[in-house]
Amino acid sequence: MTYDRYTSIIQELTASLKELEASRSQHPLIQHFIKEEISDVKHALHLASQDRFGLCEMSGEEIPFDLIKMNPTVTSLREANEWRQYGKIHVGRQS
């Protein structure tokens, strides 16, 4: 598993997975979103176990760390750029 600057993020993902799996919502829409999130978190943890966490699944390039901190389940630069575009996130800029 990746034990470097991502260690605390991976630990948070592990804790989040336990909380999500313990969720007991009866509302179908909430259950749907919980299942999606569980899937995303498990995939991120799988990538970490293969030392590929934080790398774009398409190009192999590193995803900016600031974006990984905000969305630790992001898996591609395209997805990260969507966060920037639609979330109006400015990574690496200072005011």
pTM across the whole model: 0.80
Overall average pLDDT of the 76-94 stretch: 68
Position 81 scores a pLDDT of 80
Euclidean distance between CA atoms 20 and 6, whole angstroms: 21
Task: Name beta bridge partners: 55.
Answer: 62
Average pLDDT score over the chain: 86
Return the DSSP state at 62: B
More confident residue, 43 or 66: 43
pLDDT digits (tens, 9 = 90+) for 1-35: 445 889 999 999 999 999 999 998 889 999 999 99
Task: Name beta bridge partners: 62.
Answer: 55
Using DSSP, state whether 55 is helix, strand or coil.
strand
pLDDT band at 82 (very low <50, low <70, confident <90, very high): confident
Q: Identity (one letter) of the amino acid at 49? A: S
